[in-house]
């Protein structure tokens, strides 16, 4: 069972990649849950969601102590880094955040998500850079499942799809070194 907390600024697409992750897991026959934090939130505010992917039945859908944290901005990195399980993974958007978590019992991957997304064609694909890094580090779902979900999301928008695939591969490359 892997618990992932995805957090960032409203509009960065953390809920989108969270949902895509759950959808990918479902297609591989795994048990999944996706729980968005809801509140009086808006573009520019904070957004986060919890995704669990498991081989067995999922009891609690909460991720109070996630195995993996994806933080797309600085406030969410500092808010959630203390909660990550010892031995866990943090993927932080190094383009707009520092990466000092103040603990040495986990791995922090500083991924320049915004820069790599701009190189791929659009800064809005920064979420897919993080998704690529998550995939490369955990292999928790297959690449094909993620790309299939992405393709369905951008039906009739081939250019947007291609940009997102480039961003995804840049994310894979960023942590492969």
Interface contacts to other proteins, rule CB under 8 A: 19, 22-23, 26, 31-36, 38-40, 58-62, 64
For residues 87-104, one letter each, b for 16 or more C-beta atoms within 10 angstroms of the residue's C-beta and e for the rest, the string is ebbbbbbbbbbebebeee
Whichever of 32 and 141 has its CB closer to other proteins, that residue is 32
Least Å from the CB of residue 65 to other proteins: 8
Work out how close the CB of 10 gets to other proteins at its nearest, in angstroms, rounded to a whole number: 16
C-beta closer to other proteins: residue 28 or 98: 28
Least Å from the CB of residue 84 to other proteins: 15
139: left (phi > 0), else alpha (psi -120 to 50), else beta? left
Choose between 40 and 156: whose C-beta lies nearer to other proteins: 40
Q: Which is nearer to other proteins, 61 or 158 (CB)?
A: 61
**CA proximity to 126, closest of 136, 135, 115, 140:** 115
Calpha distance 20→131 (Å, rounded): 10
Q: Which is closer to other proteins, CB of 5 or CB of 32? A: 32
Q: From the CB of 115, what's the least distance to other proteins, in Å? A: 31
Nearest approach in angstroms of CB 91 to other proteins is: 22
> Judging by beta carbons within 10 Å of its beta carbon (0-12, 13-18, 19+), is residue 111 exposed, middle or buried?
buried
What is the closest distance, in whole angstroms, from the C-beta atom of residue 134 to other proteins in the complex?
18
Distance CA(12)–CA(72), nearest Å, equals: 7
Give whichever of 34 and 168 is closer to other proteins, judged by the CB atom. 34
Half-sphere exposure of 155 (CA within 13 A, CB side): 4
């Amino acid at each position: 069972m892997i618990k992932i907390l995805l957090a960032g600024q409203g509009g960065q697409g953390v809920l989108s990649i969270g949902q895509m992750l759950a959808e990918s897991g479902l297609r591989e026959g795994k048990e999944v849950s996706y729980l968005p934090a809801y509140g009086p939130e808006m573009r520019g505010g904070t957004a986060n969601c919890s995704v669990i992917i498991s081989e067995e039945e999922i009891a609690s859908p909460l991720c109070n102590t996630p195995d993996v944290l994806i933080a797309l901005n600085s406030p969410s990195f500092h808010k959630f880094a203390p909660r990550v399980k010892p031995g866990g993974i943090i993927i932080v958007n190094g383009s707009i955040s520092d990466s000092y978590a103040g603990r040495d019992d986990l791995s922090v991957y500083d991924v320049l998500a915004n820069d790599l997304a701009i190189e791929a064609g659009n800064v809005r694909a920064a979420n897919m850079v993080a998704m690529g890094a998550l995939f490369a580090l955990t292999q928790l779902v297959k690449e094909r499942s993620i790309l299939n979900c992405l393709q369905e999301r951008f039906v009739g928008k081939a250019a947007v799809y291609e940009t997102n695939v480039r961003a995804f591969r840049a994310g894979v490359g960023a942590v492969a070194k």
